[in-house]
A and B are shown apart, each in its own frame.
Chain A
Amino acid sequence: MHADERFENVLEAAQAGEEWALTVLYRRNQPALLGYLRTQRPVDADDIASETWIAVARGLRRFKGDEEALRRWIFTIAHRRLLDLRRDEFRRPQAVSEEAAAQAGIQESPPAEAEALASLATRQALEQIASLPADEAEVVVLRVVAGLSARDVAAITGRSAGNVRVMQHRALRRLAKKLFDKTFVTLLRSLAM
Protein backbone atom coordinates (compact mmCIF):
# COMPACT_ATOMS: atom_id res chain seq x y z
CA MET A 1 0.00 0.00 0.00
CA HIS A 2 1.16 3.50 -0.71
CA ALA A 3 2.65 5.48 2.15
CA ASP A 4 0.83 8.75 1.60
CA GLU A 5 -2.87 8.06 1.91
CA ARG A 6 -4.12 11.60 2.25
CA PHE A 7 -7.33 11.90 0.29
CA GLU A 8 -6.02 14.45 -2.21
CA ASN A 9 -3.10 12.20 -3.14
CA VAL A 10 -5.25 9.10 -3.21
CA LEU A 11 -7.79 10.77 -5.44
CA GLU A 12 -5.15 12.08 -7.81
CA ALA A 13 -3.56 8.65 -8.12
CA ALA A 14 -6.94 6.97 -8.52
CA GLN A 15 -7.82 9.39 -11.29
CA ALA A 16 -4.61 8.32 -12.98
CA GLY A 17 -5.69 4.70 -12.68
CA GLU A 18 -3.28 3.64 -9.91
CA GLU A 19 -4.50 0.39 -8.41
CA TRP A 20 -3.25 1.13 -4.91
CA ALA A 21 -5.32 4.30 -4.82
CA LEU A 22 -8.39 2.53 -6.15
CA THR A 23 -7.90 -0.07 -3.42
CA VAL A 24 -7.82 2.63 -0.75
CA LEU A 25 -11.03 4.19 -2.01
CA TYR A 26 -12.65 0.79 -2.21
CA ARG A 27 -11.69 -0.19 1.32
CA ARG A 28 -12.88 3.08 2.78
CA ASN A 29 -16.30 2.96 1.17
CA GLN A 30 -17.19 -0.58 0.22
CA PRO A 31 -18.39 -1.78 3.67
CA ALA A 32 -20.88 1.03 4.04
CA LEU A 33 -21.94 0.71 0.42
CA LEU A 34 -22.49 -3.00 0.76
CA GLY A 35 -24.40 -2.54 4.00
CA TYR A 36 -26.65 0.02 2.36
CA LEU A 37 -27.30 -2.20 -0.63
CA ARG A 38 -27.98 -5.23 1.57
CA THR A 39 -30.85 -3.42 3.22
CA GLN A 40 -32.27 -2.53 -0.18
CA ARG A 41 -31.47 -5.53 -2.39
CA PRO A 42 -30.12 -8.45 -0.30
CA VAL A 43 -29.89 -10.85 -3.25
CA ASP A 44 -27.87 -8.79 -5.72
CA ALA A 45 -26.20 -6.28 -3.39
CA ASP A 46 -22.74 -7.44 -4.45
CA ASP A 47 -23.51 -7.10 -8.12
CA ILE A 48 -24.91 -3.62 -7.67
CA ALA A 49 -21.87 -2.66 -5.60
CA SER A 50 -19.57 -3.88 -8.39
CA GLU A 51 -21.50 -1.93 -10.98
CA THR A 52 -21.36 1.11 -8.77
CA TRP A 53 -17.59 0.88 -8.44
CA ILE A 54 -17.11 0.46 -12.16
CA ALA A 55 -19.24 3.55 -12.75
CA VAL A 56 -17.16 5.39 -10.17
CA ALA A 57 -13.95 4.35 -11.89
CA ARG A 58 -15.26 5.51 -15.26
CA GLY A 59 -16.24 8.93 -13.99
CA LEU A 60 -13.49 9.45 -11.48
CA ARG A 61 -11.42 11.62 -13.82
CA ARG A 62 -14.13 14.25 -13.80
CA PHE A 63 -14.71 14.14 -10.04
CA LYS A 64 -13.73 17.15 -7.94
CA GLY A 65 -14.25 17.41 -4.21
CA ASP A 66 -13.31 16.09 -0.80
CA GLU A 67 -13.82 12.69 0.75
CA GLU A 68 -17.34 13.50 1.91
CA ALA A 69 -18.26 14.56 -1.60
CA LEU A 70 -16.83 11.35 -2.99
CA ARG A 71 -18.86 9.26 -0.55
CA ARG A 72 -21.96 11.25 -1.44
CA TRP A 73 -21.25 10.64 -5.12
CA ILE A 74 -20.76 6.90 -4.63
CA PHE A 75 -24.03 6.53 -2.77
CA THR A 76 -25.80 8.64 -5.34
CA ILE A 77 -24.65 6.27 -8.06
CA ALA A 78 -25.73 3.26 -6.02
CA HIS A 79 -29.12 4.81 -5.29
CA ARG A 80 -29.73 5.52 -8.96
CA ARG A 81 -28.68 2.02 -9.87
CA LEU A 82 -31.24 0.70 -7.41
CA LEU A 83 -33.91 2.88 -8.94
CA ASP A 84 -33.00 1.61 -12.42
CA LEU A 85 -33.31 -1.98 -11.28
CA ARG A 86 -36.66 -1.35 -9.65
CA ARG A 87 -37.87 0.40 -12.78
CA ASP A 88 -36.74 -2.50 -14.94
CA GLU A 89 -38.49 -4.97 -12.70
CA PHE A 90 -41.65 -2.92 -12.83
CA ARG A 91 -41.56 -2.91 -16.63
CA ARG A 92 -40.66 -6.59 -16.94
CA PRO A 93 -42.40 -8.52 -14.17
CA GLN A 94 -40.73 -11.75 -13.25
CA ALA A 95 -42.27 -14.65 -15.11
CA VAL A 96 -41.28 -16.97 -12.32
CA SER A 97 -43.53 -16.74 -9.30
CA GLU A 98 -42.21 -16.79 -5.79
CA GLU A 99 -43.48 -20.31 -5.34
CA ALA A 100 -41.69 -21.54 -8.39
CA ALA A 101 -38.59 -19.74 -7.27
CA ALA A 102 -38.77 -21.44 -3.92
CA GLN A 103 -39.12 -24.79 -5.64
CA ALA A 104 -36.09 -24.03 -7.73
CA GLY A 105 -34.13 -23.32 -4.58
CA ILE A 106 -33.92 -19.58 -5.14
CA GLN A 107 -34.40 -17.74 -1.89
CA GLU A 108 -34.37 -14.10 -0.94
CA SER A 109 -31.32 -14.35 1.25
CA PRO A 110 -27.96 -12.66 1.20
CA PRO A 111 -25.11 -14.55 -0.44
CA ALA A 112 -22.53 -16.35 1.64
CA GLU A 113 -19.94 -13.60 1.28
CA ALA A 114 -22.35 -11.03 2.58
CA GLU A 115 -23.30 -13.36 5.37
CA ALA A 116 -19.69 -13.64 6.39
CA LEU A 117 -19.36 -9.90 6.24
CA ALA A 118 -21.60 -9.11 9.11
CA SER A 119 -21.49 -10.38 12.62
CA LEU A 120 -24.53 -11.85 14.27
CA ALA A 121 -25.40 -8.58 15.94
CA THR A 122 -25.02 -6.70 12.72
CA ARG A 123 -27.16 -9.19 10.90
CA GLN A 124 -29.87 -8.84 13.50
CA ALA A 125 -29.66 -5.10 13.20
CA LEU A 126 -29.95 -5.35 9.43
CA GLU A 127 -33.00 -7.54 9.82
CA GLN A 128 -34.59 -4.97 12.09
CA ILE A 129 -33.89 -2.20 9.64
CA ALA A 130 -35.08 -4.29 6.71
CA SER A 131 -38.41 -4.72 8.48
CA LEU A 132 -39.05 -1.00 8.12
CA PRO A 133 -40.69 0.48 5.02
CA ALA A 134 -38.12 0.62 2.25
CA ASP A 135 -37.80 4.40 2.02
CA GLU A 136 -37.48 4.76 5.81
CA ALA A 137 -34.91 1.96 5.97
CA GLU A 138 -32.95 3.63 3.20
CA VAL A 139 -32.86 6.92 5.07
CA VAL A 140 -31.71 5.28 8.30
CA VAL A 141 -28.98 3.27 6.59
CA LEU A 142 -27.67 6.23 4.66
CA ARG A 143 -27.50 8.25 7.84
CA VAL A 144 -26.06 5.53 10.10
CA VAL A 145 -23.98 3.31 7.83
CA ALA A 146 -22.89 5.83 5.22
CA GLY A 147 -22.56 8.56 7.85
CA LEU A 148 -24.26 11.15 5.71
CA SER A 149 -26.16 14.20 6.93
CA ALA A 150 -29.90 14.66 6.46
CA ARG A 151 -29.15 17.20 3.74
CA ASP A 152 -26.89 14.77 1.90
CA VAL A 153 -29.47 12.01 2.17
CA ALA A 154 -32.06 14.39 0.81
CA ALA A 155 -29.82 15.20 -2.15
CA ILE A 156 -29.14 11.53 -2.87
CA THR A 157 -32.72 10.34 -2.62
CA GLY A 158 -34.23 13.35 -4.31
CA ARG A 159 -36.30 14.41 -1.34
CA SER A 160 -36.39 17.57 0.69
CA ALA A 161 -34.37 17.75 3.89
CA GLY A 162 -37.58 18.23 5.87
CA ASN A 163 -39.05 15.10 4.35
CA VAL A 164 -35.94 13.15 5.29
CA ARG A 165 -36.19 14.37 8.88
CA VAL A 166 -39.81 13.29 9.09
CA MET A 167 -38.96 9.88 7.68
CA GLN A 168 -36.07 9.26 10.02
CA HIS A 169 -38.24 10.28 12.98
CA ARG A 170 -40.95 7.85 11.94
CA ALA A 171 -38.38 5.12 11.33
CA LEU A 172 -36.91 5.40 14.81
CA ARG A 173 -40.31 5.42 16.46
CA ARG A 174 -41.33 2.39 14.44
CA LEU A 175 -38.08 0.66 15.28
CA ALA A 176 -38.50 1.40 18.98
CA LYS A 177 -41.98 -0.06 18.90
CA LYS A 178 -40.81 -3.17 17.09
CA LEU A 179 -37.99 -3.70 19.55
CA PHE A 180 -40.33 -3.19 22.48
CA ASP A 181 -42.84 -5.63 21.02
CA LYS A 182 -40.11 -8.15 20.38
CA THR A 183 -38.83 -7.83 23.90
CA PHE A 184 -42.34 -8.10 25.25
CA VAL A 185 -43.02 -11.25 23.25
CA THR A 186 -39.72 -12.75 24.33
CA LEU A 187 -40.53 -11.97 27.93
CA LEU A 188 -43.98 -13.53 27.63
CA ARG A 189 -42.51 -16.66 26.07
CA SER A 190 -39.94 -16.99 28.83
CA LEU A 191 -42.68 -16.61 31.44
CA ALA A 192 -44.82 -19.19 29.71
CA MET A 193 -42.00 -21.67 29.72
Chain B
Amino acid sequence: MRPNDLTPSAVDELLEGSARRETLSEEYQRVAGTLDDLRLLQTAELDPLAEAKAVQAMAEAAGEARRRLWRTSRPRLVPVGLRFALALGAVIIVGTAGAAVAGTSLPGTDVANAVFQQLGLEPEDEADEAADEADREADEAEREAEEGERDIPLPEPAAAGQAKAAQMAANAAAFAEAVRVWTSCVRDAAMVHESLGTREDFDPVAACGDHPSVIGVGNDDDDGDDPGNGGGRPQGAGPPAGAGPPADAGPPAGAGPPSSAGPKGPGSGGPPANAGPPAGAGPPAGAGPPG
Protein backbone atom coordinates (compact mmCIF):
# COMPACT_ATOMS: atom_id res chain seq x y z
CA MET B 1 0.00 0.00 0.00
CA ARG B 2 1.41 3.32 -1.07
CA PRO B 3 0.85 6.52 0.92
CA ASN B 4 -1.83 7.63 -1.48
CA ASP B 5 -3.63 4.31 -1.14
CA LEU B 6 -4.46 4.80 2.52
CA THR B 7 -8.10 3.80 2.79
CA PRO B 8 -10.38 4.58 5.73
CA SER B 9 -10.43 0.94 6.76
CA ALA B 10 -6.60 0.83 6.60
CA VAL B 11 -6.52 3.89 8.85
CA ASP B 12 -8.76 2.16 11.36
CA GLU B 13 -6.65 -0.97 11.26
CA LEU B 14 -3.50 1.00 11.86
CA LEU B 15 -4.98 2.93 14.74
CA GLU B 16 -6.48 -0.15 16.33
CA GLY B 17 -3.30 -2.18 15.88
CA SER B 18 -4.92 -4.84 13.74
CA ALA B 19 -3.19 -4.07 10.44
CA ARG B 20 -1.17 -6.85 8.84
CA ARG B 21 2.35 -5.59 8.32
CA GLU B 22 2.96 -7.52 5.12
CA THR B 23 0.14 -5.68 3.41
CA LEU B 24 1.62 -2.31 4.29
CA SER B 25 4.16 -0.27 2.42
CA GLU B 26 7.45 0.51 4.09
CA GLU B 27 6.25 3.93 5.18
CA TYR B 28 3.17 2.59 6.82
CA GLN B 29 5.05 -0.25 8.43
CA ARG B 30 7.02 2.45 10.21
CA VAL B 31 3.83 4.20 11.13
CA ALA B 32 2.45 0.97 12.53
CA GLY B 33 5.62 0.48 14.56
CA THR B 34 5.38 4.00 15.97
CA LEU B 35 1.78 3.48 16.93
CA ASP B 36 2.63 0.17 18.60
CA ASP B 37 5.28 1.94 20.66
CA LEU B 38 2.73 4.53 21.58
CA ARG B 39 0.28 1.82 22.60
CA LEU B 40 2.75 0.62 25.22
CA LEU B 41 1.68 3.60 27.27
CA GLN B 42 -1.49 1.69 28.12
CA THR B 43 0.49 -0.79 30.18
CA ALA B 44 3.19 1.49 31.50
CA GLU B 45 4.26 1.05 35.09
CA LEU B 46 3.13 3.76 37.44
CA ASP B 47 5.07 5.40 40.20
CA PRO B 48 3.76 3.84 43.44
CA LEU B 49 4.24 7.03 45.40
CA ALA B 50 2.33 9.10 42.85
CA GLU B 51 -0.37 6.46 42.78
CA ALA B 52 -0.75 6.51 46.56
CA LYS B 53 -0.99 10.29 46.59
CA ALA B 54 -3.52 10.33 43.79
CA VAL B 55 -5.71 7.68 45.40
CA GLN B 56 -5.59 9.51 48.72
CA ALA B 57 -6.64 12.72 47.03
CA MET B 58 -9.45 10.91 45.23
CA ALA B 59 -10.72 9.37 48.45
CA GLU B 60 -10.76 12.76 50.13
CA ALA B 61 -12.53 14.32 47.17
CA ALA B 62 -15.12 11.57 47.16
CA GLY B 63 -15.67 11.99 50.90
CA GLU B 64 -16.00 15.74 50.53
CA ALA B 65 -18.52 15.24 47.76
CA ARG B 66 -20.57 12.95 50.00
CA ARG B 67 -20.45 15.45 52.86
CA ARG B 68 -21.48 18.24 50.51
CA LEU B 69 -24.38 16.13 49.31
CA TRP B 70 -25.45 15.63 52.93
CA ARG B 71 -25.10 19.32 53.72
CA THR B 72 -27.16 20.32 50.72
CA SER B 73 -29.86 17.75 51.37
CA ARG B 74 -30.02 18.28 55.15
CA PRO B 75 -31.90 21.59 55.06
CA ARG B 76 -34.65 19.84 53.19
CA LEU B 77 -34.71 16.84 55.51
CA VAL B 78 -34.63 18.70 58.81
CA PRO B 79 -37.67 20.91 58.27
CA VAL B 80 -39.64 17.92 57.09
CA GLY B 81 -38.75 16.00 60.22
CA LEU B 82 -39.32 19.04 62.39
CA ARG B 83 -42.69 19.72 60.85
CA PHE B 84 -43.70 16.11 61.34
CA ALA B 85 -42.60 16.15 64.97
CA LEU B 86 -44.41 19.42 65.65
CA ALA B 87 -47.57 18.17 63.99
CA LEU B 88 -47.44 14.94 65.94
CA GLY B 89 -46.87 16.81 69.20
CA ALA B 90 -49.76 19.17 68.45
CA VAL B 91 -52.08 16.27 67.71
CA ILE B 92 -51.11 14.57 70.97
CA ILE B 93 -51.58 17.74 73.03
CA VAL B 94 -54.90 18.66 71.44
CA GLY B 95 -56.15 15.11 71.67
CA THR B 96 -55.18 14.81 75.31
CA ALA B 97 -56.71 18.17 76.19
CA GLY B 98 -59.86 17.38 74.27
CA ALA B 99 -60.19 14.04 75.94
CA ALA B 100 -59.64 15.63 79.35
CA VAL B 101 -62.33 18.24 78.68
CA ALA B 102 -64.78 15.73 77.30
CA GLY B 103 -64.01 13.27 80.05
CA THR B 104 -63.45 10.48 77.60
CA SER B 105 -60.47 8.41 76.69
CA LEU B 106 -58.35 8.87 73.59
CA PRO B 107 -59.29 6.84 70.52
CA GLY B 108 -56.37 4.48 70.89
CA THR B 109 -56.74 4.08 74.64
CA ASP B 110 -59.12 1.15 74.41
CA VAL B 111 -56.71 -0.72 72.19
CA ALA B 112 -53.82 0.12 74.46
CA ASN B 113 -55.81 -1.01 77.49
CA ALA B 114 -56.65 -4.25 75.76
CA VAL B 115 -53.00 -4.85 75.04
CA PHE B 116 -52.08 -4.00 78.63
CA GLN B 117 -54.75 -6.33 79.92
CA GLN B 118 -53.44 -9.09 77.72
CA LEU B 119 -50.05 -8.49 79.20
CA GLY B 120 -51.51 -8.50 82.67
CA LEU B 121 -50.54 -4.93 83.36
CA GLU B 122 -53.94 -3.16 83.38
CA PRO B 123 -52.43 0.25 84.09
CA GLU B 124 -55.66 2.24 83.95
CA ASP B 125 -57.90 0.27 86.30
CA GLU B 126 -57.76 2.80 89.10
CA ALA B 127 -58.30 5.70 86.78
CA ASP B 128 -61.24 3.95 85.17
CA GLU B 129 -62.83 3.27 88.51
CA ALA B 130 -62.44 6.89 89.56
CA ALA B 131 -63.89 8.07 86.28
CA ASP B 132 -66.85 5.70 86.61
CA GLU B 133 -67.49 6.92 90.14
CA ALA B 134 -67.42 10.54 88.96
CA ASP B 135 -69.82 9.71 86.14
CA ARG B 136 -72.23 8.02 88.52
CA GLU B 137 -72.18 11.01 90.85
CA ALA B 138 -72.75 13.40 87.96
CA ASP B 139 -75.69 11.36 86.67
CA GLU B 140 -77.23 11.26 90.10
CA ALA B 141 -76.92 15.01 90.57
CA GLU B 142 -78.40 15.62 87.15
CA ARG B 143 -81.34 13.34 87.88
CA GLU B 144 -82.02 15.10 91.14
CA ALA B 145 -81.90 18.45 89.42
CA GLU B 146 -84.42 17.33 86.79
CA GLU B 147 -86.81 16.03 89.43
CA GLY B 148 -86.52 19.27 91.35
CA GLU B 149 -87.23 21.38 88.28
CA ARG B 150 -90.70 19.89 87.90
CA ASP B 151 -91.76 21.01 91.32
CA ILE B 152 -90.20 24.43 91.51
CA PRO B 153 -92.49 27.21 90.12
CA LEU B 154 -90.97 29.76 87.82
CA PRO B 155 -90.20 33.09 89.43
CA GLU B 156 -92.39 36.01 88.46
CA PRO B 157 -89.96 37.84 86.18
CA ALA B 158 -89.27 34.67 84.24
CA ALA B 159 -92.96 34.04 83.70
CA ALA B 160 -93.49 37.58 82.44
CA GLY B 161 -90.60 37.19 80.04
CA GLN B 162 -91.99 33.96 78.69
CA ALA B 163 -95.37 35.56 78.10
CA LYS B 164 -93.79 38.49 76.33
CA ALA B 165 -91.71 36.21 74.14
CA ALA B 166 -94.83 34.29 73.14
CA GLN B 167 -96.61 37.52 72.30
CA MET B 168 -93.66 38.67 70.20
CA ALA B 169 -93.62 35.40 68.33
CA ALA B 170 -97.31 35.75 67.53
CA ASN B 171 -96.79 39.30 66.34
CA ALA B 172 -93.92 38.21 64.14
CA ALA B 173 -96.06 35.53 62.54
CA ALA B 174 -98.87 37.98 61.89
CA PHE B 175 -96.50 40.55 60.42
CA ALA B 176 -94.89 37.97 58.18
CA GLU B 177 -98.24 36.79 56.88
CA ALA B 178 -99.37 40.37 56.23
CA VAL B 179 -96.19 41.14 54.34
CA ARG B 180 -96.58 38.00 52.29
CA VAL B 181 -100.12 38.89 51.30
CA TRP B 182 -99.20 42.52 50.54
CA THR B 183 -96.21 41.48 48.44
CA SER B 184 -98.26 39.02 46.48
CA CYS B 185 -100.88 41.69 45.86
CA VAL B 186 -98.30 44.19 44.65
CA ARG B 187 -96.72 41.61 42.35
CA ASP B 188 -100.06 40.80 40.74
CA ALA B 189 -101.03 44.44 40.47
CA ALA B 190 -97.71 45.36 38.91
CA MET B 191 -98.14 42.60 36.36
CA VAL B 192 -101.56 43.83 35.44
CA HIS B 193 -100.37 47.44 35.30
CA GLU B 194 -97.51 46.50 33.02
CA SER B 195 -99.73 44.43 30.76
CA LEU B 196 -102.14 47.35 30.36
CA GLY B 197 -99.34 49.57 29.16
CA THR B 198 -100.64 52.68 30.88
CA ARG B 199 -98.40 55.69 31.07
CA GLU B 200 -99.05 56.32 34.70
CA ASP B 201 -96.55 55.11 37.21
CA PHE B 202 -97.53 52.09 39.17
CA ASP B 203 -98.58 52.94 42.71
CA PRO B 204 -98.49 49.92 45.00
CA VAL B 205 -100.15 51.82 47.81
CA ALA B 206 -103.05 52.68 45.57
CA ALA B 207 -103.27 49.12 44.38
CA CYS B 208 -102.81 47.21 47.62
CA GLY B 209 -102.88 49.77 50.37
CA ASP B 210 -100.16 50.65 52.82
CA HIS B 211 -97.40 48.27 53.70
CA PRO B 212 -98.12 46.18 56.77
CA SER B 213 -95.31 47.92 58.61
CA VAL B 214 -96.98 51.26 57.98
CA ILE B 215 -100.30 49.96 59.11
CA GLY B 216 -98.71 48.44 62.15
CA VAL B 217 -99.68 44.85 61.65
CA GLY B 218 -98.36 42.66 64.43
CA ASN B 219 -97.63 45.61 66.61
CA ASP B 220 -99.75 45.74 69.72
CA ASP B 221 -97.10 47.39 71.78
CA ASP B 222 -97.72 51.03 71.24
CA ASP B 223 -95.98 52.47 74.18
CA GLY B 224 -93.37 53.77 71.76
CA ASP B 225 -90.39 53.01 73.87
CA ASP B 226 -89.03 50.18 71.77
CA PRO B 227 -86.58 51.09 69.09
CA GLY B 228 -88.23 50.79 65.71
CA ASN B 229 -91.67 50.75 67.23
CA GLY B 230 -94.54 52.99 66.42
CA GLY B 231 -95.50 54.05 62.96
CA GLY B 232 -92.30 54.56 61.21
CA ARG B 233 -89.36 56.85 61.55
CA PRO B 234 -87.64 59.44 59.50
CA GLN B 235 -85.64 58.15 56.64
CA GLY B 236 -82.22 57.01 57.59
CA ALA B 237 -82.96 57.16 61.25
CA GLY B 238 -83.43 53.47 61.74
CA PRO B 239 -81.77 51.63 64.51
CA PRO B 240 -78.21 50.54 63.96
CA ALA B 241 -77.68 46.95 63.09
CA GLY B 242 -77.94 44.80 66.14
CA ALA B 243 -79.74 47.41 68.16
CA GLY B 244 -83.14 45.80 67.88
CA PRO B 245 -84.60 42.98 69.86
CA PRO B 246 -83.01 39.55 69.79
CA ALA B 247 -82.86 37.93 66.39
CA ASP B 248 -85.03 35.01 67.40
CA ALA B 249 -87.89 37.36 68.07
CA GLY B 250 -87.87 38.81 64.56
CA PRO B 251 -89.67 37.51 61.53
CA PRO B 252 -88.33 34.40 59.87
CA ALA B 253 -85.61 34.81 57.34
CA GLY B 254 -86.95 35.85 53.98
CA ALA B 255 -90.06 37.37 55.41
CA GLY B 256 -88.98 40.93 54.93
CA PRO B 257 -90.40 42.86 52.00
CA PRO B 258 -88.23 42.56 48.93
CA SER B 259 -86.59 45.79 47.98
CA SER B 260 -88.11 45.80 44.51
CA ALA B 261 -91.55 45.25 45.85
CA GLY B 262 -91.41 47.77 48.60
CA PRO B 263 -93.62 50.80 48.64
CA LYS B 264 -92.35 53.79 46.81
CA GLY B 265 -90.83 55.72 49.54
CA PRO B 266 -87.91 58.01 49.52
CA GLY B 267 -85.76 55.24 50.92
CA SER B 268 -83.66 52.87 49.01
CA GLY B 269 -85.76 49.77 49.35
CA GLY B 270 -86.50 47.36 52.11
CA PRO B 271 -83.98 45.82 54.34
CA PRO B 272 -82.40 42.49 53.60
CA ALA B 273 -84.39 39.52 54.73
CA ASN B 274 -82.30 38.75 57.73
CA ALA B 275 -82.12 42.36 58.71
CA GLY B 276 -85.83 43.00 58.68
CA PRO B 277 -87.63 44.59 61.54
CA PRO B 278 -88.31 42.50 64.58
CA ALA B 279 -91.74 41.38 65.49
CA GLY B 280 -93.87 44.29 66.34
CA ALA B 281 -91.27 46.70 65.24
CA GLY B 282 -91.73 49.68 63.02
CA PRO B 283 -90.87 49.87 59.37
CA PRO B 284 -87.39 49.08 58.18
CA ALA B 285 -85.00 51.89 57.69
CA GLY B 286 -85.81 53.64 54.49
CA ALA B 287 -89.17 51.99 54.16
CA GLY B 288 -91.12 54.41 56.23
CA PRO B 289 -92.59 57.70 55.25
CA PRO B 290 -90.28 60.60 54.81
CA GLY B 291 -89.21 62.20 57.98
Binding between chains A and B: yes
Contact with B along A133-162 (1 / 0, CB 8 A): 000000011011101001000000000000
Cβ-based interface call for B175 (8 A): no
Query: Whole-angstrom distance between the alpha carbons of A168 and B107 in the complex?
Result: 79
Q: Which residues of B contact A179 (CB under 8 A)?
A: 27, 30-31, 34
Q: Which of A58, A141, A165, A183 contacts B62 (CB 8 A)?
A: A58
**CA–CA, A14 to B14, complex, Å?**
35
Question: B63's contact among A17, A50, A59, A144, by CB below 8 Å, is which?
Answer: A17
The answer to whether B58 touches A145, judged by C-beta atoms less than 8 angstroms apart, is no
Taking a contact as CB atoms under 8 Å apart, the answer to whether B47 and A116 are in contact is yes
Are B27 and A165 in contact, with the CB atoms below 8 A? no
Check if B145 is an interface residue, CB within 8 A of chain A: no
- Interface core residue of B47, B58, B61 (most chain A CB under 10 Å): B58
CB distance from A124 to the nearest CB of B (A): 7
User: In the complex, how many angstroms separate the beta carbon of B68 from the nearest chain A beta carbon?
Assistant: 9
Does B6 sit at the interface, judged by CB under 8 A? yes
Q: Are A50 and B44 in contact (CB under 8 A)?
A: no
Decide if A118 is an interface residue (CB 8 Å cutoff). Answer: yes
Closest to B49 in A: A113
B44 x A117 contact (CB < 8 A): yes
- Does A76 belong to the interface (CB within 8 Å)? no
A28-71 vs B: 1/0 string, CB under 8 Å?
00111011000000000010011001111111110000000000
- CB within 8 A of A26: which of B37, B42, B51? B51
CB neighbours of A118 from chain B (8 A): 40-41, 44
CB-CB under 8 A from A143, the residues of chain B are 15-16
Whether A175 contacts B34 by the Cβ 8 Å rule is yes
Q: B65 on the interface (CB 8 Å rule)?
A: yes
Contact (Cβ within 8 A) A46 B50: yes
A-B contact pairs, 6 of them (CB 8 A): A22-B58, A53-B57, A61-B62, A165-B8, A176-B6, A179-B34
Known A26-B51, A32-B42, A173-B3; further 11 A-B contacts with Cβ < 8 A: A17-B59, A22-B58, A23-B55, A26-B55, A31-B41, A31-B42, A35-B44, A60-B62, A126-B41, A141-B38, A143-B15
**Which B residues contact A (CB, under 8 angstroms)?**
3, 6, 8, 11-12, 14-17, 26-28, 30-31, 34-35, 37-47, 50-51, 54-59, 61-66, 69
On A, residues with C-beta under 8 Å from B are: 14-15, 17, 19, 22-23, 26-27, 30-32, 34-35, 46, 49-50, 53-61, 113, 116-119, 121-122, 124-126, 128-129, 140-141, 143-145, 147, 150, 165, 168-169, 172-173, 175-177, 179-180, 183
Top 9 A-B pairs, shortest CB-CB distance:
A35-B41, A125-B37, A57-B58, A57-B61, A176-B27, A179-B30, A121-B37, A125-B38, A31-B44
